[in-house]
Amino acid sequence: MQGRKILFGAAFSAPPHPARGGWRKRLPRSTLSPKGARADHLSTLAKGKIVDENTGNKLGRREFMGRAAAAAGFMIVAPQVVRGTAANSSLSVGMLGCGNRGTADSTYLIGTGKARLVALADLFQDKLDSSKAYFDNLQQKKGYAPIDRALMFRGPKAYEEIANAKDVDVILITTPPYFHPQHLAAAVAAGKHVYCEKPLAVDPQGCTWVLDSGRRAEGRLSLEVGFQLRNAPPLVEQVKRIHAGALGTIVSGEGHYYATWPNLPVWPKVSADERMIRNWYYSRILSGDILVEQDIHIIDVCNWILQAHPLKAQATGSRKGRPDSGDVYGHYSVVFYYPNSVSITFGSTQIGNAKWEVGWRFFGTEGISEAHYTGPVAIYGKNAWQWTGGQPTSPASTQQFSTSGVFSDNLTQADPAKKMSFVDSILSGNYHNQAAQGVESALSCMMARRSAYTGEEVGYEAIATSGEHWEDGIDLHQFT
Ligand SMILES: NC(=O)c1ccc[n+]([C@@H]2O[C@H](COP(=O)([O-])OP(=O)(O)OC[C@H]3O[C@@H](n4cnc5c(N)ncnc54)[C@H](O)[C@@H]3O)[C@@H](O)[C@H]2O)c1
């Protein structure tokens, strides 16, 4: 693991930023004041200067933006202007990161009937080849042309090449989380709409760069973040009822993400760097650790329900029970302290292979809410309600499905609805900008992660302004 570093800002006795040729020097740490509700805390994020990669001189924001625009070849403009497309036409999508989630997200985007996959980018040729084979077959059935090999980009610069490909409207970012701020910045600089998977970053400094991309996209581009739970019809309906007061005054809650261990291929014949990237789920620096990479879905739901981010967190965790040689934790136990003295206990695992269970409950003066990925979505008490769409309706059958495990999944419609909402935002010109919301959830998790690593209680403002910066130490040019 030589060369992998986690650097902490002043709040955590920071060693200086290493002067290596990392990509992060190219990205701005600008002063931010994002628009939108609850974004006030974000304006206190670390303020900084951009460093010229060649000279080491500091650049002002205006100078940086001018250079970025010149490098991209044009200023940011809406793709329908660039490509002369009209509303209701089909969007051309470029997939950056041809792995499992990219395949799923692209398939859902194609499933909207309003988007085609036209370009691919990845570090590795085998991923490009398997994706082309899969999507050529899928899209042929719809009468779409095969993916043009001229729009297939491989290697460390592939993210820039796909971002600047002129026949692409939308960049789908499904690379490992560590790369998201860099890849997002390139896509936005090139004037492309973006669907970026969660988490938006692995460290607070990455969050600052993401917010900068959010500001640059504002009003011009849709910037969607992969929190599809927010579009799942059972959850949308339940949260609507909670926001209308169905629970009375919310006092406390609990959330859990009990997942199994991801048993990834061993990759015995590749270099240590390649193995780390292929198996990035085992790497703290590339994934952000399980709290930021996986559990974030539930923390995002808690923020959604409580319409706030936690103010502080106290957490613990360890690698106990993990057989892999990586460095991510196998479990976390967290107490999140939200405004109005609402406390949320959260537990997660990524060990064993016995059973998944993901869910959350909120306790209020007039009722209790309950939700699961698979299981009841309900409110008990004065304003009792149960999601019945596609699920058993009688109490008897409810009891039966709880014990038999035979029920429909509450997330079935989450991705299709999310993708439709995204493409419609582009085609209608009513652009989404979820950068600040996605950063808020990422920072909430980073705060708890920092608490678990140090044993100290950590506050939201402290993590947001920490300047904490993670550097993977991998020279991607070896994959040219
Ligand atoms: N929203 C969800 O429910 C959900 C579910 C699963 C994964 N995800 C997220 O999706 C993202 C991808 O996860 P995955 O399971 O598809 O991972 P994966 O390993 O299957 O795919 C990642 C792909 O990115 C490529 N890649 C790695 N580094 C690259 C680089 N620098 N440039 C270009 N390509 C690079 C890899 O070769 C690989 O093909 C992650 O952020 C993950 O957290 C979201």
Digit-coded pLDDT (tens) for 277-312: 999 999 999 999 999 999 999 999 999 999 999 999
CA of 331 to the centre of ligand 1 (A): 22
CA of 61 to the centre of ligand 1 (A): 31
Low-confidence winner among 83-87, 109-113, 172-176, 369-373 (lowest mean pLDDT)? 83-87
| Apex 248 CA angle, 244 and 252, nearest 5 | 110
pLDDT of 408 reads 54
Please answer whether residues 348 and 295 qualify as being in contact, where contact means their C-beta atoms are separated by less than 8 angstroms. Answer: yes
At residue 174, φ and ψ (nearest 5 deg) are -130, 40
pLDDT of 338 reads 99
Instruction: Say yes or no to pLDDT of 180 above 90.
Output: yes
Distance CA 286, CA 265 (A): 17
Q: pLDDT-derived band of residue 99, with 50, 70 and 90 as boundaries? A: very high
- Kindly state the tokens that stand for 336: 């999140």
Distance CA 183, CA 52 (A): 19
Alpha-carbon dihedral 73, 78, 82, 88, rounded to 10 degrees: 160
CA of 130 to the centre of ligand 1 (A): 15
Q: Is 219 exposed, middle or buried (0-12, 13-18, 19+ CB in 10 A)?
A: exposed
**Neighbour tally for 100: CB within 10 Å:** 9
Please answer whether residues 170 and 195 qualify as being in contact, where contact means their C-beta atoms are separated by less than 8 angstroms. Answer: yes
Which ligand 1 atom is nearest residue 177's CA? 41
Q: pLDDT-derived band of residue 65, with 50, 70 and 90 as boundaries? A: very low
**Ligand 1, from 108, 157, 160, 197: best to mutate by most atoms within 8 Å of Cβ?**
197
- What would the mean pLDDT of 369-380 be, rounded to a whole number? 95
CA of 111 to the centre of ligand 1 (A): 20
**Ligand 1, from 96, 101, 478: best to mutate by most atoms within 8 Å of Cβ?**
101
480 lines ligand 1 (CB under 6 A): no
Q: Which of 230, 296, 216, 299 has its CA nearest to residue 34?
A: 216
Which ligand 1 atom is nearest residue 104's CA? 16
For the chain, count helices (H), then strands (E).
16, 19
Please answer whether residues 466 and 204 qualify as being in contact, where contact means their C-beta atoms are separated by less than 8 angstroms. Answer: yes
- Kindly state the tokens that stand for 432: 């989404």
Instruction: Say yes or no to pLDDT of 77 above 70.
Output: no
Place of tokens 């051309």: 92
Instruction: Say yes or no to pLDDT of 253 above 60.
Output: yes
Q: What amino acid occupies position 200?
A: L
Place of tokens 């040219």: 480
Low-confidence winner among 59-73, 118-132, 303-317 (lowest mean pLDDT)? 59-73
CA of 315 to the centre of ligand 1 (A): 27
Place of tokens 């990205």: 27
Instruction: Say yes or no to pLDDT of 379 above 80.
Output: yes
pLDDT of 94 reads 98
Please answer whether residues 188 and 195 qualify as being in contact, where contact means their C-beta atoms are separated by less than 8 angstroms. Answer: no
Q: Please, what is the angle between helix 233-243 and helix 296-306, to 10°?
A: 40
Q: Which of 230, 227, 245, 228 has its CA nearest to residue 379?
A: 245
pLDDT of 389 reads 80
Distance CA 366, CA 346 (A): 22
pLDDT of 11 reads 33
DSSP at 456: S
Give pLDDT tens digits for 425-451. 999 999 999 999 999 999 999 999 999
177 lines ligand 1 (CB under 6 A): yes
Residue located nearest, by CA, to atom 12 of ligand 1: 174
Q: Which of 204, 181, 256, 258 has its CA nearest to residue 450?
A: 204
Instruction: Say yes or no to pLDDT of 330 above 50.
Output: yes
Q: Please, what is the angle between helix 435-454 and helix 204-217, to 10°?
A: 180
In sequence order, what DSSP letters do the residues of 2-17 get, joined into one string? TT-EEE--GGG-PPPP
171 lines ligand 1 (CB under 6 A): no
CA of 105 to the centre of ligand 1 (A): 11
294 lines ligand 1 (CB under 6 A): no
- What would the mean pLDDT of 378-406 be, rounded to a whole number? 65
Distance CA 70, CA 169 (A): 19
122 lines ligand 1 (CB under 6 A): yes
Give pLDDT tens digits for 183-237. 999 999 999 999 999 999 999 999 999 999 999 999 999 999 999 999 999 999 9
13 lines ligand 1 (CB under 6 A): no
Q: pLDDT-derived band of residue 64, with 50, 70 and 90 as boundaries? A: very low
Q: Which of 340, 348, 375, 343 has its CA nearest to residue 362?
A: 343
Q: Is 149 exposed, middle or buried (0-12, 13-18, 19+ CB in 10 A)?
A: exposed
**Ligand 1, from 95, 122, 479: best to mutate by most atoms within 8 Å of Cβ?**
122
124 lines ligand 1 (CB under 6 A): yes
157 lines ligand 1 (CB under 6 A): no
pLDDT of 28 reads 35
pLDDT of 13 reads 29
Q: Is the peptide bond before 199 cis (omega within 30 degrees of 0)?
A: yes
CA of 380 to the centre of ligand 1 (A): 38
Which ligand 1 atom is nearest residue 179's CA? 31
Give pLDDT tens digits for 5-49. 655 443 332 222 222 233 443 333 332 222 332 332 233 332 223
pLDDT of 409 reads 86
Q: pLDDT-derived band of residue 390, with 50, 70 and 90 as boundaries? A: low
Report CA 436 to chain centroid distance, whole Å. 12
Instruction: Say yes or no to pLDDT of 402 above 90.
Output: no
Instruction: Work out the mean pLDDT of the chain and round it to a whole number.
Output: 84
Please answer whether residues 96 and 173 qualify as being in contact, where contact means their C-beta atoms are separated by less than 8 angstroms. Answer: yes
CA of 67 to the centre of ligand 1 (A): 29
Instruction: Say yes or no to pLDDT of 356 above 50.
Output: yes
Fold of 230-418: Dihydrodipicolinate Reductase; domain 2 (3.30.360)
257 lines ligand 1 (CB under 6 A): no
Domain range list for the chain:
230-418
Instruction: Say yes or no to pLDDT of 173 above 50.
Output: yes
DSSP at 422: H
- Kindly state the tokens that stand for 177: 């989380």
CA of 177 to the centre of ligand 1 (A): 7
For 78, 233, 343, the CA distances from 84, given in Å and listed in that order, are 10, 35, 51
pLDDT of 70 reads 34
The answer for residues whose C-beta is within 8 angstroms of residue 397's C-beta and 6 or more apart is none
Beta strands in 293-443 (DSSP E): 312-318, 331-338, 342-350, 357-364, 367-372, 378-381, 385-386
3-state secondary structure of 123: coil
Please answer whether residues 377 and 387 qualify as being in contact, where contact means their C-beta atoms are separated by less than 8 angstroms. Answer: yes
